[in-house]
Amino acid sequence: MSPLTSRSAQAGLRTLGARSARQTALQCVATSRAALRAYATQKNETDDAMGPSFKGQMLESITSRIAREKAEREKYAKERQESASTRRWATTFGVCLTNLRSISMYTIANHGHS
């Protein structure tokens, strides 16, 4: 579009009392979003015949995922409790072995210098 045509179109819009092109475009977008939102929330008679709605499927999926995650958390908590005593015994055994080795090395080192 040439600058002359563009300027004349803008002048024509101003003389007609129309809003700016940006305001008009924003109003169109808002209107179309509102129409889409209204359409998405309407319940059709075919929804019952076709099965659960998207929202129902989504809620069912979320519910099953939450239940699965809860079961996993409970399973890991139980394993953690069962393995806690094993970890304590392993730590105790490791500390005792380290002390015995230190004592034996000390004894060997001092025995050789006597």
Class of residue 13 by CB neighbours under 10 A (exposed 0-12, middle 13-18, buried 19+) = middle
63-75 average pLDDT score: 95
Rounded Cα distance between 10 and 16, Å, is 10
Q: Quote the tokens at residue 114.
A: 């006597």
Report the phi/psi class of residue 44: left, alpha or beta, with left for phi > 0 and alpha for psi in -120 to 50: beta
Could you tell me the residue ranges of all domains in the chain? 8-41
In this prediction the pTM is 0.35
Rounded Cα distance between 27 and 32, Å, is 9
pLDDT, tens only, 35-65: 666 665 666 555 555 667 888 899 999 999 9
- Average model confidence (pLDDT) for the chain? 76
CA distances from 53 to 37, 47, 62, 73, 82 (A): 16, 6, 14, 30, 44
For residue 87, what pLDDT is reported? 86
